[in-house]
Amino acid sequence: MRLNNVAFLFIIATISAVAQRGAHEYQVVESFVTRLSPRAFPALPVQVAAALEREGYTIPQSWNDSLPHNVIVGEFRRRGQRDWAVLASRNHESRIIIFWNGLDRDTSYVSTREDILSMQDQGNRGISYARYIQNVRPDVFDPRCGNVDSTSSNTDHDAIKDHFIPRESDIFYFRKGKWFDCPGEELISMNPDNVRMCGFGAERFIVSLVDIGYGRARLDVRRNNDSAVVYSIKLMNVSSGHYHAYEYHNGNLYVLHTRTSSDESRRVDQRWMDELWRYDKNKIGNKLYAAQGLDFRVCPDEHRTVAQVGDEIRLLDTTGVEIRKFTKSEFLVHGIGDLYLSNDYLFVFNGDGDGFDTIVRLNMQSNSLSRIALQNLNIGSDYSFNPIAEQLAASNYPWIVSADDRELWESEKHKVTLYLYDLISRNTTILSRSIARDFNPVWIDEGTIEYTNPDTSQRVTYRLQK
């Protein structure tokens, strides 16, 4: 029997969420989850049931179905081949094991997770196991991941849907010897709450965050050139309100987590902590660094990470170990502004609040500093920096915080000039001019800047001269 009218469902996704009713209570209930022997499924091939039994696996049962479930059959590798998938539990941890062609000697597995993380608080109904797998036909799911195209022959066989009942799921699709993890259709329909661009050119990605409730978020990484999802992960306590909460480099996702969910709770609980984590291609996370009020940047080749904590800059190695610490007095700046990284240099922007007038360049190998003065450019809020080519595209369009200020600026018909400034040669090139209009420059690759034409409002590009 399937229960549809549940008044309140609380998703338990991590131990921190479990703590809301007490970790011990969840552990006790999890130990009493119904787990069936593989022999309870007579349709399961005998050799498959024997292999599962021999390895000590049982099949956990969710609250929403009174009949034996979490054993499915489908064409998961190719059309015409009969494969079996089993949600198998051992030592309080479950994974989906796929037996290709029903053979115990040819297997694959996906989505390993502790069983306590699949427990669900249903309020007055108590705590129950809430994980459920299902066969999905290729014509009814949206395979927006890994460049899988639902209209092509690449999606001619079934997928596996891994539910966390009732509202979220992952779809696993096997292609070219690899499992692709796609968000389920109920997650695809949600609009992202936060979007960030990372990298340049072929390595330019869009990272978007979708709040899926109860402190959880789904992060999707898409290639900028074709919007294919190359990475998708669901995490707890992502610092979604932070202006720079995540970066993506070389298959690794860097995420800033905060133990508390709001600034108000930070004021009440002084033990809060920001934590920088790196999630690898297999979605295995490692904590790199922790501090209150943490900001971070990662080099394109990932050999250095910069952590900003208050008025300090801290250089970290690939494991998060602190190598060197700098104070703002060493940078000779009023305050630390925007940070940019290439593989060799850290660029620190400094100004008085109405713009910036200096860039400090730190050589991360020699720890030597150089200062680049920009007072003559009168730069405001309209700029974009390319740390790889050391090129700054910026205009004198000011910081405007209200509609009234914008209206006044436009009525006075101020002249605005968009510059391209080379930090190496110190040469300045004028790209465009406008009357009271900003340009919104954006570097789309290491050698190309895109900005708005003030006359047509169309986006135009400019290639750096070699």
Is residue 155, in this structure, part of any structural domain at all? yes
Average per-residue pLDDT in the chain? 81
CA distance 72 to 135: 7
CA 429 to chain centre: 37
What are the residues whose beta carbons fall under 8 Å from the beta carbon of 254, sequence distance 6 or more? Answer: 246, 247, 248, 276, 277, 278, 279, 288, 296, 298, 305
Which pTM value belongs to this model? 0.64
Give me Rg for the CA atoms of the chain: 26
| Residue type for position 280 | D
pLDDT, average across residues 96-105:
93
Helices (H), 83-208: 185-188
Q: What percent of the chain has pLDDT over 70?
A: 79
User: Which pLDDT does position 150 carry in this prediction?
Assistant: 40
Of 20-24, 97-101, 274-278, 456-460, which range is least confident?
20-24
Q: What is the pLDDT of residues 366-421, one digit of tens each?
A: 988 888 888 777 888 899 999 999 999 999 998 887 788 888 988 999 999 999 99
Q: What is the pLDDT of residues 153-190, one digit of tens each?
A: 456 788 998 987 655 778 888 888 888 877 665 555 55
CA distance 383 to 379: 8
Is residue 78, in this structure, part of any structural domain at all? yes
Last residue of a domain, one of 167, 188, 209: 188
Angle at 159 between CA 71 and CA 280, to 5 degrees: 100
Q: Is 152 exposed, middle or buried (0-12, 13-18, 19+ CB in 10 A)?
A: exposed
User: Which pLDDT does position 86 carry in this prediction?
Assistant: 96
Of 131, 133, 137, the residue nearest 74 (C-alpha): 137
Domain residues for the domain of 417 are 374-466
For residue 17, what is the enclosing H or E element?
Answer: helix 15-18
User: Which pLDDT does position 317 carry in this prediction?
Assistant: 95
Q: What is the pLDDT of residues 276-308, one digit of tens each?
A: 999 999 889 999 999 988 999 999 999 999 999
pLDDT, average across residues 245-254:
93
DSSP 379: B
Is residue 308, in this structure, part of any structural domain at all? no
Answer whether residue 141 shows pLDDT above 90.
no
Strand partners of residue 309 = 294, 312
User: Which pLDDT does position 355 carry in this prediction?
Assistant: 64
CA distance 222 to 206: 5
Is residue 435, in this structure, part of any structural domain at all? yes
Is residue 338, in this structure, part of any structural domain at all? no
User: Which pLDDT does position 352 carry in this prediction?
Assistant: 58
For 55-59, the CB contacts below 8 A with 24+ separation are 55/90, 56/90, 56/91, 57/86, 57/88, 57/89, 57/90, 57/97, 58/88, 58/89, 58/90, 59/35, 59/86, 59/87, 59/88, 59/89
Count of domains for the chain:
2
DSSP secondary structure of 282-312: T--EEEEEEETTEEEEE-TTSS-EEEEETTE
Token output for 243: 């202006």
Token output for 410: 């436009």
Answer whether residue 223 shows pLDDT above 60.
yes
CA distance 293 to 291: 6
Last residue of a domain, one of 156, 188, 220: 188
User: In the β-sheet with 415-422, what is the strand arrangement from edge to edge?
Assistant: 383-386, 391-395, 415-422, 428-435
Answer whether residue 4 shows pLDDT above 60.
no
User: Which pLDDT does position 293 carry in this prediction?
Assistant: 87
Tell me if 130 sits within 8 A of 144, measured CB to CB.
no
Is residue 418, in this structure, part of any structural domain at all? yes
Is residue 294, in this structure, part of any structural domain at all? no
**193 falls in which pLDDT band (50, 70, 90)?**
low
Answer whether residue 270 shows pLDDT above 70.
no
Of 140, 153, 158, the residue nearest 73 (C-alpha): 158
Is residue 335, in this structure, part of any structural domain at all? no
Query: Strands, E, within 115-228: which ranges?
Result: 119-121, 127-129, 131-136, 159-164, 168-175, 178-183, 194-198, 205-213, 216-223
Token output for 463: 């290639």
Last residue of a domain, one of 166, 188, 210: 188
Strand partners of residue 361 = 347, 370
Of 69-73, 90-94, 120-124, which range is least confident?
120-124
Dihedral of CA atoms 163, 168, 174, 177 in degrees, nearest 10, equals: -100
